[in-house]
């Protein structure tokens, strides 16, 4: 029996249709969207199981197609599914997409499924299954797209990403299009050059909401990995005329970009309220410490001591922690008036790593 090696994912899906393995249009669309090559580097498009290491295989495409066909009526909006022996992660992603719902493969090409909670990856004995969470309110992150800055902000508010009126007025005042030329009003992260991104609007909204009580008139704030300058600008308006916000970015081109972005409609902030500096964000910026609020826009392996030392008593830090292309957690770090530190794990996230300049520029090259 021959197992044809197709030249592309589209040709493989077409072959599976011709052989009767794919009949449902939803199955076809999902298998076209999830490129098998991202999960199976060798003979990706051959209708044959392939080794993926650890004495495990990725099943043959016709078996994946058959499974999705048989499960299609149980993979609808709001469904919960369990994939035992998830292996490469290929079928898990297909199931997540059909429900309109490994880690490195999914992070590279389908990280939105992890970010918005449709997909959870765990380590355990598959023979014991996995106890599903109780029904909960649908996560509205990633679903607040607008066709203008005003509609984006309104959708973020309506979907519960923020509640505070000051956050609303600040986000209305700072038009994301000044800082994100491509798809500014989609609720997605977007590339801004130098292997950096501007975070999705829902992450900015959530950050401002959690930091609002530490961004009041006269407060000082530190924005690590300030990138486009968007969040730095928002924080500057919230700390008022007597406050100070320092953005730290280690890529010179991004420092220049953020200053140029701010000058478009907020040039007055650069006359003392906002300072954008080139430097290693892992070391903070001790010159203006301590800070009432610290926001870190890239994932560190752990909470850097330098940043913790620069957090004022009564201050709050938001920081993603975890390795690149692995499990990352968004942490809220609070320091009370006596210096005691409390850490709360808020959610799983996917961020670019907080690294040195050379690693960032060389990433993906």
Give me the long-range contacts of 155-164 (CB less than 8 A, separation at least 24).
Answer: 155/187, 156/187, 156/201, 156/202, 156/205, 159/202, 161/201, 161/202, 161/205, 161/206, 161/209, 162/205, 162/206, 162/208, 162/209, 163/209, 164/208, 164/209, 164/212
pLDDT at 3 > cutoff 80: no
Mind telling me the catalytic residues?
199
Distance of CA 188 to the CA centre of its chain: 8
Residue 361, token pair as written in the block: 């520029």
Query: What is the pTM (predicted TM-score) of this model?
Result: 0.64
Q: Tell me which of 218 and 7 has the higher pLDDT.
A: 218
* Model pLDDT for residues 171-208, shown as the tens digit of each residue: 999 999 999 998 999 998 898 988 888 999 999 999 99
Instruction: Give the per-residue pLDDT at 4.
Output: 60
Instruction: Give the per-residue pLDDT at 136.
Output: 42
> 14: pLDDT confidence band, cut at 50, 70 and 90?
confident
Q: Name all domains of the chain by residue range, CATH numbers in brackets.
A: 9-128 (3.40.50.150), 207-362 (3.40.50.150)
The Cα 66–Cα 62 span in angstroms is: 6
The Cα 201–Cα 180 span in angstroms is: 11
Specify the range with the lowest mean pLDDT, choosing from 24-28, 156-160, 303-307: 24-28
Asked whether the beta carbons of 102 and 88 are under 8 A apart, the reply is yes
Mean pLDDT computed over 149-171: 95
* Model pLDDT for residues 78-87, shown as the tens digit of each residue: 678 899 988 8
Specify the range with the lowest mean pLDDT, choosing from 42-51, 159-168, 254-263, 336-345: 42-51
């Amino acid at each position: 029996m021959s197992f044809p090696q197709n030249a592309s994912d589209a040709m493989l899906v077409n072959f599976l249709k011709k052989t009767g393995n794919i009949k449902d249009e939803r199955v076809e669309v999902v298998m076209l969207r999830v490129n098998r090559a991202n999960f199976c580097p060798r003979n990706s498009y051959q209708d044959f199981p392939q080794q993926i290491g650890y004495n495990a295989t990725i099943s043959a495409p016709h078996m994946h197609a058959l499974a999705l066909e048989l499960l299609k009526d149980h993979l609808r909006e709001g469904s919960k599914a369990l994939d035992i022996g998830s292996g490469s992660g290929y079928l898990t992603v297909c199931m997540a997409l059909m429900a309109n719902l490994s880690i490195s493969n999914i992070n590279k090409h389908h990280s939105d499924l992890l970010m918005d909670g449709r997909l959870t990856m765990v380590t355990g004995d598959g023979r014991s299954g996995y106890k599903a969470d109780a029904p909960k309110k649908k996560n509205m992150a990633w679903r607040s797209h607008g066709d203008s800055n005003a509609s984006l902000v309104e959708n973020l508010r309506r979907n519960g990403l923020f509640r505070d009126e000051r956050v609303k007025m600040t986000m209305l005042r700072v038009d994301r299009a000044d800082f994100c030329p491509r798809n500014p009003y989609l609720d997605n992260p977007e590339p801004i050059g130098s292997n950096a991104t501007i975070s999705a609007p829902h992450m900015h909204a959530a950050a401002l909401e959690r930091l609002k009580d530490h961004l009041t008139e006269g407060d000082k704030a530190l924005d690590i990995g300030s990138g486009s300058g968007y969040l730095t600008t928002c924080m500057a308006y919230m700390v008022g005329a007597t406050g100070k916000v320092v953005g730290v970015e280690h890529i010179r081109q991004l420092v220049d970009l953020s200053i140029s972005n701010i000058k478009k409609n907020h040039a007055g902030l650069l006359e003392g309220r906002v300072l954008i500096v080139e430097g290693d964000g892992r070391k903070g910026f001790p010159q203006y410490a301590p800070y009432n609020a610290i926001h870190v826009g890239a994932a560190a392996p752990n909470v850097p001591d330098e940043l913790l030392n620069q957090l004022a008593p009564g201050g709050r830090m938001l920081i993603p922690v975890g390795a690149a292309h692995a499990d990352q957690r968004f942490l809220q770090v609070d320091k009370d008036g006596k210096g005691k530190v409390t850490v709360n794990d808020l959610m799983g996230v996917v961020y670019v790593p907080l690294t040195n300049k050379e690693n960032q520029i060389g990433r993906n090259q």
